[in-house]
Amino acid sequence: MPELPEVQAHAERLAGEFAGRVLARFRPLKFTALRTALPAPDDAYGQPLLAVRRRGKYIILEFESVQFAVHLMQGGRLLVDEKQSAKPRGGQARFVFDEGPALLLTEAGTERRAGVWCLPPGEVESSPPLDVLGPDADTVTPEQMVELFARKNQRIHGFLRDQRSIAGLGRRLSNEVCHRAEISPFAMTGKLGIEGATKIVEAIRATIEEGLDDERTRTDMSSSKDRPSAVHRRTGAPCPRCGDEIRAVEYSGYTVNYCATCQTNGKVLADNTTSRFLK
C-alpha cells in the first residue's frame, strides 16, 4: 500500500500537472466509489483546482466549495487519463476538467476499497474519514510521541501502523522505522519513554525523507517492490547494518520483518505460523 512518501510525492506531481484546471465533472464509474452524499461534487463544477495536498495516506484535491479526499488503499492509483475511455480498466471515478486530460481513480483487483469523499472546506479535518486520524507521522515531536505512547500500552509496530495514533505509516514503514530505531517491533509503547520516543521520531523522519527523495525522482508512483527497504520484504537477506539474517513474523495480512542483532538483542521473535505447526 502506498504510504506517506508515495502519497506525498504523488500529490506534488498532481498539483504540478492539474492545479488551476477547472473542474467540469466528477463521475463515479462504480457506485461504491463516492462515499459521501453531501456536499455534492457538483458544487465544485466551474471552479479551479486550488491545491493538491496530503493528509495521512489521503490525497486531497481542494476546490473552493468542495474538498475531495481520495484514498488509494492497496491497489488504487490516481492516473492522468488522456483517453477518457468509456470503460477504463479498474476505473472507479473520474475528474473531468474543462480542457486537457482527466484524472482517473483506478483500483486493481476486486476489493473496491479505494474511494472518494466530498468534504466541506473548513470541516475537512473534523469530518469522516479524516476525523479519526492522528497527527501526521512526520510532524510529531518526541514529547508528543511520549503522550501518544501513553494512551495505550501496545506493541510499537501496531502503534505505528494504526492511523488513529499517527497517520501516514503502513506495514513497510513500520518495519523500516523499528529497524532504523534499533527497537524491537514487539517493544511495548508504555516502556519506551522519552529515549525510545526520540529514537522513533528520528527514525520516522529519516525513513520518510529517504522515501520522499526516491519517490520525487519518479514520474509516477513506485510499485511496492521498488521502494527503499532495509528489512521490509527482505526475509532471509543480510541486514544492511550488521549482516545478520533478516527475520520474519508472519501474520495473515502482513509480515513483520526485523533484524535480531540490531533490534532484539539476538532474540528470535515467535513466528505465529511456525508456532501453530508445532502445537
| Binds Zn ion by CB under 5 A, chosen from 25, 27, 53, 241 | 241
Contact between 178 and Zn ion per CB under 5 A: no
| Binds Zn ion by CB under 5 A, chosen from 118, 156, 166, 259 | 259
Q: Please give the Cα distance from 147 to 270 (Å, whole number).
A: 29
Contact between 96 and Zn ion per CB under 5 A: no
Least separation in angstroms between CB 264 and Zn ion:
10
Least separation in angstroms between CB 90 and Zn ion:
39
Least separation in angstroms between CB 240 and Zn ion:
8
Question: Which residues is 167 bridged to in the sheet?
Answer: 136
Pairing outcome for strands 51-55 and 91-97? unpaired
Q: Which triple of cell numbers denotes residue 80?
A: 492522468
Half-sphere exposure of 172 (CA within 13 A, CB side): 22
> Would residue 174 be called left, alpha or beta, if left means φ above 0 and alpha means ψ between -120 and 50 degrees?
alpha
Give the range of 90-98, 112-120, 253-261, 265-273 binding Zn ion by CB under 5 A: 253-261
CB nearer Zn ion, residue 110 or residue 265: 265
Least separation in angstroms between CB 263 and Zn ion:
7
Q: Please give the Cα distance from 192 to 60 (Å, whole number).
A: 34
Give the range of 43-51, 52-60, 104-112, 262-270 binding Zn ion by CB under 5 A: 262-270
| Binds Zn ion by CB under 5 A, chosen from 52, 96, 262, 264 | 262
CB nearer Zn ion, residue 104 or residue 239: 239
Q: Which triple of cell numbers denotes residue 192?
A: 519506551
Contact between 260 and Zn ion per CB under 5 A: no
| Residue whose C-alpha cell is 513483520 | 256
Question: Which residues is 105 bridged to in the sheet?
Answer: 78, 93
Q: Please give the Cα distance from 166 to 189 (Å, whole number).
A: 13
Q: Please give the Cα distance from 133 to 165 (Å, whole number).
A: 7
Least separation in angstroms between CB 179 and Zn ion:
7
Do 104 and 89 form a contact (C-beta atoms < 8 A)? no
Give the range of 41-49, 68-76, 146-154, 232-240 binding Zn ion by CB under 5 A: 232-240
Q: Please give the Cα distance from 213 to 271 (Å, whole number).
A: 34
Give the range of 120-128, 169-177, 200-208, 243-251 binding Zn ion by CB under 5 A: 243-251
CB nearer Zn ion, residue 152 or residue 267: 267
Q: How many residues bind Zn ion (CB under 5 A)?
A: 7
Q: Which triple of cell numbers denotes residue 71?
A: 484514498
| Binds Zn ion by CB under 5 A, chosen from 73, 182, 261, 269 | 261
Pairing outcome for strands 67-71 and 76-81? unpaired
Contact between 239 and Zn ion per CB under 5 A: yes
- What residues make contact with Zn ion under the rule CB under 5 A? 239, 241-242, 244, 259, 261-262
